[in-house]
Amino acid sequence: MAGDERRLGDLLRDPREDLDVEIKNWLDLVDDGDHKAVLAKALIALANHGGGFVILGLELNDNGAYQEAPGRPESLGVYDQDRVNGIVSRYAEPTFHCVLEVAEHPDTGLRYPIIVVPGPSVPVRSRRDGPGIAKDSYYTRRPGPASETPQSGQEWDRLIRRCTLENRADLLEGIRLILAGEAPVAPLASPEDGWARLGAWIEESLERWSDKRNRLPEESAARCPLGHWWAAYQITEMNPPVAAGDLREIMAQGRARHTGWPPWPTRGGEGIPVVPQGDGIECWLGQLDGGVRQPSRSDFWRATPHGLFFQLRGYQEDSREHEGEEPGEFMNLVYPIWRTGESLLHAQDMALRLAGEDSSILFRTGWTGLRGRWLRASPRLVFFFDDQYRWNGDEDSITLQLPVESARIRDSLVEIVWQHLRPLYERFDFYDLARDLVQQELAQLQAHRF
């Protein structure tokens, strides 16, 4: 890792565009569709070139040298790996997985996002139009340097040769099996492909939620203005997909409520509106009661028969049930443990129903609106909590992920949740999440004591 950091730092020490390096200004990857298209074209071109780097936050000065561009964002947390791979999924076919690193300039100490782009095993084309990018076009890096479509047969030959060499091992294995009289088996998607697909699903889900919340009045608590948490997962090794209506029934059947308001709510006395969306189903509770619902009951969730699930909810700490506390000021010590435990148990339940015992889960959670919050505990937890802990750092959010075999989730739930959440708690003044606390809370959770 130290070697990777030094290499990325060297890119910043003397930055220059080359066939495998593209430099961009501070692109707005949250709200600006034009900027997303600009980045997508650069990523596709670098992938077809064989891989490379996109450096963000620099511009040329009058002397022809690169310097920091104006408009540095307040937090580099807006440059998120899930968001980058969501853009890839939106514009590239087939999709590929990029890694986003934040590197420190060796001389100035300033930090810049650098996107590491892999080389593909097949040529990548654009799947939609946008500013500077055309649907069904193959971009690569050309002398200049520039990101353009191949201009000659020789450039096409180079692109195809790179992909062939990248895929050489798979090709040779396929030939070996044919000569041996065996049927070649298509390789399973790599973990990187799975994470890229999940990241794109999360990005799409967040965009759908944002579109819905923006229809509510500005003062609506259902907009979750002070922050929210989300959980998403992908089931691998899926059985043939079921119909959307069957998926709704499967999600509603026989699921235990570990707390009073479980994730992915599908039934209850509130007339939960589950509707078809695409090839899956979707539910949004924020529009109920005229948009005056509390953040903790304004769920938005989605699911597909292909094993993708997403759930978003506002913080219980910011709702009326915590009267006497100022919304947005604190995070409850045990709530992330409960929410993560419930979400993982939901993932195991769905995996066993839709894919069987040999399936795996790619699991990811996100927590926003954290800057300035204090970690708080109830008096019953004084043994685990004897000080004041505040969210530390410039970032306002954090994203955590882990792969896990679905069959071992329930038996290893304590260890999985503890390892998954430790980085979240450490950001609160290095609070050390006790394994015994996780064990205690999950035992009560599974005994339905909440």
In angstroms, what CA-CA distances link 46 with 51, 138, 326?
Answer: 5, 11, 48
Q: What residue spans in the chain does CATH classification 3.30.950.30 cover?
A: 2-173
What are the backbone angles phi and psi of residue 52, rounded to the nearest 5°? 165, -155
Tell me the pLDDT tens digit for each residue of 168-203. Answer: 545 554 454 444 444 343 333 445 668 888 999 999
pLDDT recorded at residue 326: 82
User: Could you tell me if 265 and 298 are in contact, meaning their C-beta atoms sit under 8 angstroms apart?
Assistant: no
CA–CA distance, 270 with 66 (Å, rounded to integer): 58
Residue bearing the bigger pLDDT, 424 or 445: 424
- The CATH class of 2-173 is alpha beta
Output the six-digit token pair for 200.
């794109």
Mean pLDDT of 110-135: 87
Q: How confident is the prediction for the chain on average, in pLDDT?
A: 84
Question: 345-358 pLDDT, tens per residue?
Answer: 999 999 988 988 78
How far, in Å, CA of 325 to CA of 250, rounded? 39
Query: What integer pLDDT is reported at residue 263 of this predicted model?
Result: 87
pLDDT interval class at 3 (50, 70, 90): very low
**Distance between CA atoms of 258 and 261, rounded to whole angstroms?**
8
Predicted confidence (pLDDT) per residue in 9-32, tens digit: 778 877 888 888 999 999 999 888
pLDDT tens for 243-266 read 888 898 888 875 555 666 788 988
| pLDDT surpasses 80 at 62 | yes
- Among 190-204, 322-336, 350-364, 377-391, which range has the highest average pLDDT? 350-364
> Taking residues 97-101, what's their average pLDDT?
88
